[in-house]
Amino acid sequence: MDATAHRIDNDLYQYWVTITPLDTGSGLATISASAYIHLRENYRPAALSDIRQGADPARNSPLISTFAIVRLNGVSQCDGAGGTGRFVYEGLHVKRQGERCYALQTETQQDSVVFFLHNQLNNGMVRLADHHCSQRSDAHIARHGEPLQFPLAIDATESPSWSPGNGHGFDPEEDTFYAVASSNTKAARALARHFERLPERCGYSVRPGLEGDELRLWFDQFEAIARHWQSEVDWQSVQVRNVL
């Protein structure tokens, strides 16, 4: 038996169930049926607020205490702030009064090295880089208890809404962002080398990313690194709607 839910619109899904005989020579036919169902999801609007949530005690290494998408206070924080050279606005990156910009925001339980990744809807996995677009993985230093913000080069049709991710998906139904943190420099170097295998995205243009079997192999190898350094590596994801 195989079951799959395909998103139709917002919380409406088409749910398919297929029963296939184990014995192909039995003469029994494969049977399929579908139904439309509503699955309520608690997506939260990106807002100017401190995101506070406790680390999950069930996780092996809760280095990351929070991970969310937030709205920044003024476009100056996206538009060339701190030399980033980014232009990240709501509404097709056109400057208008009242424009908003957005960022990934994370906090860690210890001083850590953090990387940001993006599994693009229908376009595969990429690593997020700053305006330098260097060939090396972009590592960011998160200080314990201090929010680390990474401005996003996205257009928003309306205020982006987000929800905590649950594991990883090879073919996501929403744009999915990842924060990967390490409190160990050797583990961080191993992660950086692995992330350099991903295509780099450093601006508005969608960059074809890793997909299919290549992405599955990449995730298998990433999980092997995380298991090897399990007490010193952590990652979380968020799913985001209303972005281009």
Tell me, yes or no, whether 26 and 142 share the same domain: no
User: What integer is the mean pLDDT of 187-212?
Assistant: 88
Tell me, yes or no, whether 53 and 30 share the same domain: no
Q: What percent of the chain has pLDDT over 90?
A: 32
Q: Which domain holds residue 30?
A: 2-38
Which has the closest alpha carbon to 82: 46, 127, 47, 132? 132
**pLDDT score, position 48:** 65
**pLDDT score, position 160:** 66
Tell me, yes or no, whether 173 and 234 share the same domain: yes
Tell me, yes or no, whether 22 and 97 share the same domain: no
Rounded to 5 degrees, what angle do the CA atoms 98, 207, 74 make? Answer: 15
CA distances (Å), 107 to each of 51, 149, 182, 187, 207, in order?
9, 9, 12, 19, 28
Tell me, yes or no, whether 30 and 134 share the same domain: no
Tell me, yes or no, whether 23 and 54 share the same domain: no
User: What integer is the mean pLDDT of 70-97?
Assistant: 48
Domains identified in the chain, total number = 2
Tell me, yes or no, whether 31 and 98 share the same domain: no
Tell me, yes or no, whether 30 and 48 share the same domain: no
Res 163 pLDDT > 60: yes
As a three-state string, the secondary structure of 52-88 is: CCCCCCCCCCCCEEEEEEEEECCHHHCCCHHHCCCCC
Give the model confidence (pLDDT) of 43-75 as tens digits: 666 666 555 544 444 444 588 998 988 887 765
Tell me, yes or no, whether 15 and 108 share the same domain: no
96: confidence class by pLDDT, cuts 50, 70, 90: very low
